Structures are given as structure tokens and as C-alpha cells.
Amino acid sequence: MNFEKDFEQENSVDLSVPAHNRNTADDIEHNQTKSHDSSSDENIMTNKLSEEVPINQRFEKKPNGKLKKSVKGFTSMVAAGVVGSVLTLAVLPHTDYIKNFNNDNNNQAVSVASQPVSQAKPVSTQTASQNSIADTVQRVSKAIVGIDNYQRQQSQDFFGNTTSSQNVDTGSGSGVIIQKKDGYAYIVTNNHVVEGANKLEVSLYDGSKTSAQLVGTDALTDLAVLKIPGKYVNTIATFGTSSSLRPGDPVYAIGNPLGSELSRTVTQGIISATNRSISVQTSAGDYETTVIQTDAAINPGNSGGALINPEGQVIGINSMKIAESGVEGLGFAIPSDDVIPIVNQLIKYGKIERPYLGVSLADLSQVPQIYLQDLPNNVSNGVIVVNVDSNSAAGRAGIQPKDIIVSMDGTSVGNSAELRKFLYTKAKIGDTVKVGLYRNGKLMTVNVKLTSNANNTN
């Protein structure tokens, strides 16, 4: 039987499509592309041949002559390749190829090595701006001082007998160097920092200490001025305007919280509000003061320190904070626009000259109702006159004890703080003010010509 004929018959049987699958095969063939059909047919043929004809049968039926001829040709090709490789390796070392190849590589290495090599350099953490906050704070801090208040206290022995008296450090605060002239440097601080002191000691930026002289104080605004020898000072602070401040502006508080151990501590915050009116109790009486509210931390010892803007200008003197349970971030500073005129007067005169009315007052809310029986029922706000200085403007105008003042020049007065606020901000020395008051239940007006006496309390 012929080999080619047997092989053809085997393939024709294996590649035929059964009768019951022809329709399916026709559908598939109709939906596929021509190129895909050709590729699929070739794969099917190859797979069928692989499955139906074992390898030994495929070569088994080839004539022996053809198989031997193919093996012989392959062997010859391999042998020729081996011989060629051996000859190349044997001859190449005796030529200039390797020498030239090495020279080219050496030249390339030298040229690369001769190129400048960039080295890693440390990057400075300092900002490019010459006016960074750290630089600003460092500069202003040299004008911030610590102030210790020494008061004389008597000591007693075991049996309660007074033996001696000595100066005791009773408290500390901060101050700002604002001026240097005539051999002295002037420092602004809070009145409550220096009040009652028998001795004041100032500690400076470089750690040196010196005694300070009290120039003048103003209890109502809680401001005071000291002076020290100018040789200790090389830096003074500059003031900015507080009227341009807006809520949200960044600010920095510098001072000595909790004493000299934490000197020149810096805290950061924003302006929380401007022109806040806060009623305060001072040694000169109740007063309604205007302050800047900030959330920058202000603690005991910060009083008298500086509240600065990012440019390093003093825009407030730190004065107080509300220290109550559950309350945080409520600090207050005296606006620089209010500080400057007070400080200038204290340096020039040693005191603040204000209009003087010459009466002692009490708020109606503090007076028992028995003393207000003649007062109309619709009057609930005002101040009652407790005492009158006979030589004062009020005494000369005829104001009497038990009079109830309810207005000044038509402006309602609800309490003593509001009356002082009107006198010190709306009136001037020498002005004649129309005082509205109730006497024995009747409303009347008294004209008072204001005088000056900074040593008395209105």
C-alpha cells in the first residue's frame, strides 16, 4: 500500500465534519472573518494531526533515505559552526582588534571621569525673607524686659513679735523699652505690675539686672512708665497703629509668663476682636476700658509685655485675661493708639491730667431700694452721689449727696464706669457739662465747669 495514499486517507477522515454538525459549522464560518477562518483551519489541522497521529507513526512511515539525509545535513552544519568558532578564538589574539577595543574603552572612561561631579550640599532651613517671623521676634525681644515688684513686709518671731522689715519679691511682670533720651531708657508696663512697690528691679535681654525708678502711673488705664540708666539699652521697640487692625490679623505676644524663668516667651494668635469695652476694677475706681481681644496665650507675668504684628511693631500692651473655669483664649491688650498719649503724658508730667468732677459715686444697682423711694419707677440706671468735694467743680455747681446722675450732655449714664468714660473721652478740662440728675424725685439740670486734678478720683 502506498505511504502517501495512506497518509492522505487518514487526514481526510480526521478533518471531516460530521453531518449533524455541519449547520453549526456553517454558521460559525459565516460570522467570522476570512483571516480568522484561515488561522482557525490551520490550528484545527495541526491539532488534529497531533491528536490522531503519534510522533513515532509520523516518522515511522517516511522512507529511511530521506530521514538519514536530513540528520546528516544538520550534523554537518553544527560541526561547521564549532570549527569556525575555534578558528576565530585562536586567531583573534594575534590581531590588533582587542588592543584597539581596549584603547577606545580607556578613552571613554577618562572623558567621563574628567567631567565635573556635582556634590550634595546641605540646604539651609532659613527662609529667603529677611523679615521672617523668627528674625522679627528676635529683634523685638531685645526690647522686652522682666519687672520684679518688691514690697516691704514685716517679719515676726515665734511669739508674734515684730522683729524687722525687709523687701520681698511679691510679683513679676513684663515691660517694653519705648524710648531712650537724656541718659535714660523708658519702659512702659501695667500699673498693676508696679503698684505698691517699694523697689522695682528690671532684668534685660542679656541677663543683666538694674533698679528702676517709677516715672508715673495711671490706674484707670492700667499703664505705668519706669526708667533705667540708658547704658543698659541698645534696642527700643517701635509702635504701630492699632486702628487698622481687623479680626483675623496674626499677632504675637512676648513676655515673661510665670516669672523670669520663662523670660521672653513668644505665643502666636490672631486678633479676635477690636474695640472691646471691658469693665474693670482699679485702685482708682471702676472703669470701662477699650481693649484688643486676642487668642494669643497671655498668662500671669505676661502683663506689660508687647503684642506685636508680623512687622514687629507694638500694637498693644498685654494687660489681662479672663481666667474662669471653661474659658480659654480670652486675652486682652491695651491698644497702642490709647497707650501712646498716656505714656507721653506720664513721661512729661508724671501723671495724667483729666477732667475732674469731684464726687464719689455708687451704681444704682448697689444701692438698697429704701434710698430710692423718691425715684420714678421708670428710672433704673444711673449713679448716686455719695460724697462731694466742696472745692471741686461739682461742689461749686451745687451737686449734693443723694443726687442721682442719669446723663452728661444728653448722653445717658448707666453706671460709674460710663460716667468716667464720658469725662475722659468726650470732655476736656475747662468744658462746661450739663449734668442731668434727679433730686427728691424731680429731674433737673446742673451746669458744671470741669477742672483738672489728677490726684483725685471721680
Q: Tell me, what CATH number does 365's domain have?
A: 2.30.42.10
- Look at residue 99 and tell me if it is in a domain: no
Whether residues 409 and 322 fall in one domain: no
Q: pLDDT for 304-325, tens place per residue?
A: 999 999 999 999 999 876 554 4
Whether residues 47 and 81 fall in one domain: no
Which residues span the domain enclosing 217? Answer: 138-232
pLDDT of residue 90: 57
Which amino acid, 161? Answer: N
- Look at residue 106 and tell me if it is in a domain: no
Q: Which long-range contacts (CB under 8 A, 24 or more apart) does 191-195 make?
A: 191/217, 191/218, 191/219, 191/221, 191/222, 191/223, 191/224, 191/282, 191/283, 192/222, 192/303, 193/147, 193/149, 193/224, 193/303, 193/304, 194/147, 194/149, 194/224, 194/226, 195/149, 195/219, 195/224, 195/283
- Look at residue 116 and tell me if it is in a domain: no
Q: Give the CA count within 13 Å in the CB-facing half-sphere of 307.
A: 34
Whether residues 33 and 78 fall in one domain: no
Count of domains for the chain: 5
Residues in the chain, pLDDT under 50: 1-69, 101, 104-130, 324-325, 457
Tell me phi and psi for residue 358, to 5 degrees. Answer: 90, 35
Whether residues 166 and 203 fall in one domain: yes
Within 10 Å of residue 432's Cβ, how many Cβ atoms? 12
pLDDT of residue 45: 43
- Look at residue 242 and tell me if it is in a domain: no
CATH number of the structural domain spanning residue 332:
2.40.10.10
Decide if 133 contacts 252 (C-beta within 8 A): yes
pLDDT of residue 421: 86
pLDDT of residue 8: 44
Which amino acid, 408? Answer: M
Whether residues 279 and 298 fall in one domain: yes
Whether residues 264 and 175 fall in one domain: no
Whether residues 225 and 257 fall in one domain: no
Q: What would you report as the CA-atom Rg of the chain, rounded to the nearest whole angstrom?
A: 51
Whether residues 150 and 226 fall in one domain: yes
Whether residues 369 and 303 fall in one domain: no
- Look at residue 429 and tell me if it is in a domain: yes
pLDDT of residue 139: 93
**Catalytic residue numbers?**
192, 222, 303
Whether residues 302 and 368 fall in one domain: no
Q: pLDDT for 234-277, tens place per residue?
A: 999 999 999 999 999 999 999 887 666 667 789 999 999 998 88
Whether residues 225 and 303 fall in one domain: no
pLDDT of residue 280: 79
Whether residues 318 and 374 fall in one domain: no
